[in-house]
Structure 1
């Protein structure tokens, strides 16, 4: 079998570093006007918990916190571009 002539790879909406990426979501949602200051504070706290849980290799718990954080953002606006 001959090698595949691969020149590049694209990952669409991929989580390459979820523990770090989760920390960017609340500020992005605020910058886009999707959450108010109170929701921003709540989202930042949940994102920090998700981050800490992921670093502790408690991935299911981290995913639950990330979901709770994303629930603060209106449905349809949750797929924000990564920073």
Structure 2
């Protein structure tokens, strides 16, 4: 494995590690939003939780794609 592949592999692992933050933050924020439906910031917190979910999914797919490029790319 050459140096460039190691860098791409490390980048993919960093992206996946970052996605873990949003994987856990999304449900916590949504739970908080649904428990405080009468609060004036309910909609803002709900949107933030949904954005965390979509960001987590995007980062997971991007991280897996980057790992796949590092492992299976023949360049």
Q: Does TM-score exceed 0.5, indicating one fold? A: no
TM-score class, shorter: 0.3 to 0.5
Give the TM-score normalised by structure 1: 0.35
- Which has more helix, going by share of residues? 2
TM-score (norm 2): 0.38
